[in-house]
Amino acid sequence: MSLTADDFRSVGGGDPSDDDSIPLGDALAELAMDVETDAVEAVRESREDV
């Protein structure tokens, strides 16, 4: 027996709490953390600590 995508349609319905009016990319952008790290500076600082 094999499972296909059709097998999951009945149980894989959408989340009722989702707001479908917001595109997925925009929703993910809201969740993303804006992290700027200067890798070279971070390495230098860690070497100074050692």
Q: Is 37 helix (H, G, I), strand (E, B) or coil?
A: coil
pLDDT in tens, 1-44: 687 877 777 776 677 777 888 888 888 888 887 667 778 888 88
In this prediction, residue 30 carries a pLDDT of: 83
Q: Rounded to a whole number, what is the largest CA-CA distance in the chain?
A: 59
Report phi then psi at 39, rounded to 5: -60, -40
In this prediction, residue 3 carries a pLDDT of: 79
Instruction: Tell me the H-state helices in 1-50.
Output: 5-8, 24-31, 39-49
In this prediction, residue 24 carries a pLDDT of: 86
Q: Which DSSP category does 22 fall into?
A: S
Residue whose pair of structure tokens reads 């929703």 in the numeric block: 27
In this prediction, residue 32 carries a pLDDT of: 82
